[in-house]
Amino acid sequence: MVSEHLLELEVAWQQHVGSDMQLFERLMGRHREKHRKYHTAQHVSWVVRHVDELAADESPDDLGAIVAAALYHDAIYEPASPANERASARLARRDLAALGWDDERVSAVSDMIEGTKHHLDPADTDTAILFDADLAVLAADPASYGDYTRGVRAEYRHVDDDDWVTGRIAVLDGFLDRPSIYATASGRERWEDRARANLAAELATLR
């Protein structure tokens, strides 16, 4: 049985990316890798859904490029690797070129994907939309936020508890120290307060 998430992503692919379903199936196969607990097709569908939500308010230049970046932004995901975003961008460049995308759009998608390493200083509205959609989980309801944190911890099971806590505190503090977590006005209005509350609550459990 095909999941709701995969159906949503298939529609997004056909509407915005291309008609080659073999490429789509290979991409989705990557998101079924056994070590993935959070960075799955469900996460990608969440990001695409929030791209659409933000795009309704933010007037993107190229919605198709944002959706393509969302679909590919975690295509390569090895928790111990520092180069996932670069590798994912490289895969996106190869596949989109094969689909006939022009060099300018391919480069825009690649740049957006590489930017998700830190979600800082988006170069344009399209990149800001992608960053905010990827970080929308930080403002999820408590149960979904708990699923997110447990999923990420499971992906980092190779890290011992002390190192995990130290690293996670640094990540949470990094977000909370920003003037705003979200780059778009719509993202800030929708999610900023809830995200800060979730991050602060998690931080309190770690200290």
CB 106 within 8 A of CB 96: yes
CATH architecture of structural domain 4-138: Orthogonal Bundle (1.10)
Two tokens at 155? 């992906």
Of the candidates 54, 17, 199, which has an alpha carbon nearest to the alpha carbon of residue 130? Answer: 54
Whole-number pLDDT of residue 140: 98
pTM of the model: 0.96
What is the C-alpha to C-alpha distance for residues 46 and 91, in angstroms, rounded to an integer? 21
Mean pLDDT for 77-97 is: 98
Whole-number pLDDT of residue 1: 46
User: pLDDT band for position 2 (50/70/90)?
Assistant: low
At 26-71, the pLDDT tens digits run 999 999 999 999 999 999 999 999 999 999 999 999 999 999 999 9
What is the C-alpha to C-alpha distance for residues 97 and 131, in angstroms, rounded to an integer? 23
Two tokens at 60? 């993107």
CB 135 within 8 A of CB 176: no
